[in-house]
Amino acid sequence: MRFLEKSRGVAVDTICYDLEDSVTPGKKAEARSNLQSILSRERVSGIKEQAVRINSVDSGYALDDLTQVLKAPNLDALVIPKVNSASDLHFVTDVIRHALPERHGPDAKSPLRLIALIESARAVMDLSAICKASPYLSGLIFAAEDFALDLSITRTPDLKEFLYARSAIATAARAFNLPSTIDLVTTAFRGEQGQQVLKGESEGGKRMGYNGKQCIHPSQVELVQSIFSPSQEEVDYAMPKVEVLGR
């Protein structure tokens, strides 16, 4: 609970609390209760969106996760891991529609957003169906480490082994008008060298069409935000052009 309290002091676009990999099976119930408590408290100004990463649908824990965290009034989004097919999002959407009808439908003031983690070859091959699976899907996240494990490949500094998957995810998100396309984690973050790796990977992701990046340490946030924010040149280009004609 101490780390949850500390998290309320960061300034980020989205904070994602994890119920999956970072919580052992024997601690799942306690973690759910702690998250419900922290997300029921008054919002802090530095965090724009509060999300929870539940366990995967096929893990056996997802329904209990949803039943508990959906009670929290300040939950904005759910991150769904290991989305391999449209059926994973169908399940989550159906649960939410029954448990939280006021956050869904055309009259909902603040619909709960779903964000899908793309972590496997199967998911990349089924991106079209995944992107159409739920009207509440708002983004895709590329989970590079699990993707590498699924394909039995090794992550290298130039990330060339991920080129096809990263491009496919960014393209699918744009094709289906999903507002969030979140790129892979940069695992190196300590010291000047770590910041240079983070800078290079962030710039590369932006060039590929991503509009955000996962961060695993607070020291990554400022640099990532600066790179994915519009530059002055981009702002000037987007401004309406006024042509003055003399007579």
What residues are designated binding site for substrate?
53, 119
What residues are designated binding site?
53, 119, 146
What residues are designated binding site for Mg(2+)?
119, 146
Say how many CA atoms lie within 13 Å of 101 toward its Cβ: 1
Burial of residue 4 (number of CB atoms within 10 Å: 0-12, 13-18, 19+): middle
- Within 10 angstroms of residue 41's Cβ, the number of other Cβ atoms is 13
- Within 10 angstroms of residue 238's Cβ, the number of other Cβ atoms is 8
Whether the Cβ atoms of residue 131 and residue 176 lie closer than 8 Å to each other: yes
Calculate the alpha carbon distances from 240 to 230, 233, 236, 243, 245 in Å: 16, 13, 9, 10, 16
Q: How far apart are CA 58 and CA 42, in angstroms?
A: 33
